[in-house]
Amino acid sequence: MSLRKVALRPAPPWVWLSALALLVIAGCGGGEKFPQSTLVPKGDFAVMVDEVFMTTVKWAAVVFVLVEGALLIALWRFRQRPGLGEPEQVHGNAVLEVIWTLIPAAILALIAVPTVRAIFRTSELPEDALEIEVIGHQWWWEFRYPNQLIVTANEMHVPAGRPILLKIRTADVLHSFWVPQFAAKRDAFPGKYTTLWFTTDSVGTFSGQCAEFCGLQHARMGSLVVVEPPEEFERWVAKEQVGSPLMNSGVVTWATPADSIVAAQDSVEIRGRAAFMAGGCLGCHAMVGTPTAGLLSLQGPNLSHLGGRQRLAAGILAQTPENLARWLREPQVVKEGSLMKLPRPLTEDEVGALVAYLRAHR
């Protein structure tokens, strides 16, 4: 065989299968390196789903070992040997057929019982839950808290220990809300709600991912769930209420008149607000202290407390001044196809003013 032929020969199937298996196994890990693993459940809903999954895996493992073991024994024990001739030919065995029909039926029944129980338990909505409206957009998530009267984007804060009830829908195409460590996926449809709930005691930040193909930037439509002790959550709510469209139509009522004077004279505030209006940001974004503060149905995320968020552009960039400047300068380079289209390029002065202004609003 020539060298050329050797080089062109396709790899044997086991190479491809092993590579595929390694990839699958790598994707299943948990912990820091693989934060979106369903195998490390952090809430009661996820634990119920995980129990059903593990029950199925255990039964599948038992069946695999027994069937493959019997196959290997048969292959070895009844293999062709010199001088043995043709083996006895048999057709049909009623006893065996009944056994191998009954055993799988019994195993399926054993899996069905916990599965059906989990389906019923996870579809019962919890009482006394904190309600959050989840709205999918191309390509970011909006979160509204109808009882706390706040609106935010991409980062959902929740108190530890209290049931959270999500009412999910979309503003445009189909999406699917999924935070693997808390709950299952739920599709987002226009004009109707789907629901999902979870309770967790794990304080920390957990990441989620849109799980329904929704266009060019589907893979970069992330979300974060920040689980906090209840007091910390209350502080976050109080902060987010300032300028919320759901509260006093976004008009800020100052705690003291002095606060409003300080804000009115703050140069970061003045220059930033001017750039926000002149640069066209207010065409798509609600922002505290501007004419859009009270608007709910704009195309882009509410930016009133952007400085308090950990990430930018639905999870793809860490919240740093450099990244925010990059996103403002070249949104179509950072996130191609995004609806963030500037009416004109921003000047460097405007970018600087906007970065300081947006980050100052925590």
Q: Which is nearer to ligand CUA, 289 or 301 (CB)?
A: 301
Please report the beta strands in 163-315, taking only residues with DSSP state E, as ranges in sequence order.
164-170, 175-177, 186-188, 194-198, 204-209, 222-228, 311-312
Task: Give the residue from 123, 296, 113 showing the smallest Cα distance to 196.
Answer: 123
* Shortest Å distance, C-beta 137 to ligand CUA: 8
Tell me if 215 sits within 8 A of 201, measured CB to CB: no
How large is the angle between the packed helices 348-360 and 321-329, nearest 10 degrees?
130
The rounded distance, in Å, linking the Cα atoms of 245 and 29 is 41
DSSP-derived secondary structure letter, 203: -
The rounded distance, in Å, linking the Cα atoms of 111 and 134 is 33
How large is the angle between the packed helices 44-77 and 94-123, nearest 10 degrees?
170
Q: Which is nearer to ligand CUA, 154 or 304 (CB)?
A: 154
Q: Which is nearer to ligand CUA, 167 or 271 (CB)?
A: 167
Tokens of 185: 């996926």
Q: Which is nearer to ligand CUA, 213 or 254 (CB)?
A: 213
Q: Which is nearer to ligand CUA, 166 or 281 (CB)?
A: 166
* Shortest Å distance, C-beta 103 to ligand CUA: 42
Tell me if 133 sits within 8 A of 143, measured CB to CB: yes
* Interacting residue ranges for ligand CUA, rule: CB under 6 A: 136, 139, 175, 210, 212-214, 218, 221
Q: Which is nearer to ligand CUA, 223 or 302 (CB)?
A: 223
* Shortest Å distance, C-beta 221 to ligand CUA: 4
* Shortest Å distance, C-beta 341 to ligand CUA: 19
Residue 186 host element (H or E): strand 186-188
The rounded distance, in Å, linking the Cα atoms of 257 and 68 is 79
Tokens of 220: 């970069």
* Shortest Å distance, C-beta 154 to ligand CUA: 12
* Shortest Å distance, C-beta 218 to ligand CUA: 3
